[in-house]
Amino acid sequence: MSAGAEVVVVEGVRRSFGALVPVLQDVSFRLEPGELVLLRGPSGAGKSTVLNLVAGLDRPDGGEVLVDGVRVAGLGHPARFRREVVGFVFQLHHLLAELTAEENVEVPLIPAHLRRSQRRARARAALAEVGLGDRATHRPVELSGGERQLTAVARAIVGRPRLLLADEPTGSLDAIAGERVLGLIGRLSRDQGMTVLLVSHDPRAAGRVDRVLELRDGRIVAPEPR
Ligand SMILES: Nc1ncnc2c1ncn2[C@@H]1O[C@H](COP(=O)(O)OP(=O)(O)OP(=O)(O)O)[C@@H](O)[C@H]1O
Ligand SMILES: [Mg+2]
């Protein structure tokens, strides 16, 4: 396959979990640089599975997943790729319980050659961007569900990754915080050329993206008008 200018190429991907659960049957799509694309579909359709494959957290049973022209499943340094190229907002947040919000946000910056004070300043700036500047020193148990989600968004964008994979980043947010996160993601894509694959059931999301991919019965189908 030729490596074009696409940031993400997913071609003919299959993934099953045991013989009885073929989740992805033949999934193909491409993301151009700076595109903001919504991946939609019913619960259990395989949206999180797709994000995991693009992030190199899982391997396809068949087909290809390329990021910046490189096959993700064969990477020699997957941890570095995930740190330097990809920002991931996990559906279940995955914050480290022992660390404060700002320390959690600093985690992706630790391998970069930054002074501790610089790291802290960037983490605080990212928390301020999501509207959480006043909770920087709280631990996850001291944050609300929505605040944990905002912390996870700040952690995913703090290193200004080339590719942002965001799994339901507004799922536990009220209308105002949800708007702020969708607005921030839109600006990162528009102004900084960040490529974004967004999974969301949020009805506001569809109107704010360049394109919708609809995942159904293991394939990308034409999006249903809403
Ligand atoms: N590690 C795993 N082992 C077994 N089955 C799995 C595994 N991961 C996912 N599945 C199954 O694959 C299917 C798709 O899961 P996935 O989490 O990708 O769905 P989703 O589209 O993200 O759903 P939701 O909207 O509820 O988050 C589900 O039926 C799930 O049970
Ligand atoms: Mg999911």
10-residue averages of pLDDT along the chain (226 residues): 76 90 93 96 95 94 94 79 86 89 93 90 96 95 93 94 95 90 94 96 91 96 72
In a domain, 84, yes or no: yes
Best of 20, 23, 40, 219 for a ligand 1 pocket test (most atoms within 8 Å of beta carbon): 23
In a domain, 27, yes or no: no
Best of 17, 61, 91, 92 for a ligand 1 pocket test (most atoms within 8 Å of beta carbon): 17
CA-nearest residue, atom 29 of ligand 1: 44
Residues at CB less than 6 angstroms from ligand 1: 17, 21, 23, 41, 43-49, 91
In a domain, 226, yes or no: no
* Domain count of the fold of the chain: 1
Q: What is the CATH number of the domain that holds 164?
A: 3.40.50.300
User: What b/e readout covers 108-120, taking b as 16+ CB neighbours within 10 angstroms?
Assistant: bbeeeeeeeeebb
Three-state DSSP class for residue 14: strand
CA-nearest residue, atom 24 of ligand 1: 43
In a domain, 147, yes or no: yes
pLDDT of residue 1: 44
Question: d(Cα 214, Cα 206) in Å, to the nearest integer?
Answer: 11
pLDDT of residue 183: 92
Question: d(Cα 27, Cα 144) in Å, to the nearest integer?
Answer: 36
- Residue 113: domain span: 34-56+77-221
In a domain, 217, yes or no: yes
In a domain, 12, yes or no: no
> Which residue type does 167 have?
D
In a domain, 14, yes or no: no
